[in-house]
Amino acid sequence: MNARLGPTPAFLRSLDSAIAGELATRGTARTWVMAAALGRTARRNPAFTSDPYALSAESLRPGVRRTNARLGEPLASQNRSLIALTDARHALVPVEVRFESAAGAGTRVILRLVLIDARVAEIQWAGDVSMEGDAPSVPGILAALARRVADLVIAP
C-alpha cells in the first residue's frame, strides 16, 4: 500500500465507508448490506462465519489464471456463510486497490471489484474502477473511487 495512505486496514475500511456513503446519497443504500454492518454481524457469529475483512480473495486478483467462473475453497464457503447472515444472494467484493504510474507523472488508482453469486459460488462479473490525478489526496481517492462504484449501480 502507498505510504501516504496510512495502514492498509484503515484505508480499506474508509473506502468501504465512502462507498456506503455514496450509495446512501443516491438512495440505494437500504437495499444493500454494507461492509460495516456485515462485519458487526460476523463478529456476533464467529463460529458460523468468517471475518469479511479477511477473505481468501487472492484468486480474484487480476492476472490470476482462471479456467472457469466457480470459486475455489475456502472463498466459496466464506462467501456462502456471509451471505447466509443477510438473506442476500450476491456479494460485490472489493478485491484490491493498486497504484500505477499514469501519463504525465500522475498516479492512477485502481479498485478491482468482483460480483459473486454466493449461492452457486460463481463469479458473475469482474472489473476495475479507477481515478487519475497528480498526487491525489486520500479523501480525493476515496471519494472518486466511491463515486465510480456507485456509478456502476445507479446513475448520478
Q: How confident is the model at residue 136 (pLDDT cuts 50, 70, 90)?
A: confident
Provide, rounded to the nearest whole percent, the portion of the chain with pLDDT above 70.
Answer: 94
* Residue-wise pLDDT tens digits, 4-30: 666 778 888 999 999 999 999 998 867
User: Which structural domain, as residue segments, surrounds residue 84?
Assistant: 3-153
Residues 6+ positions from 52 with CB-CB distance below 8 Å: 35, 38, 39, 42, 82
Retrieve residue 53's grid coordinates: 475483512
pLDDT digits 0-9 by tens, 112-135: 999 999 889 999 999 999 998 776
Q: How many domains does the chain have?
A: 1
Kindly give, in sequence order, each residue whose CB lies less than 8 Å from that of residue 103, ignoring residues fewer than 6 positions away. Answer: none
Give the residue, 26 or 136, on which the prediction is more confident: 26
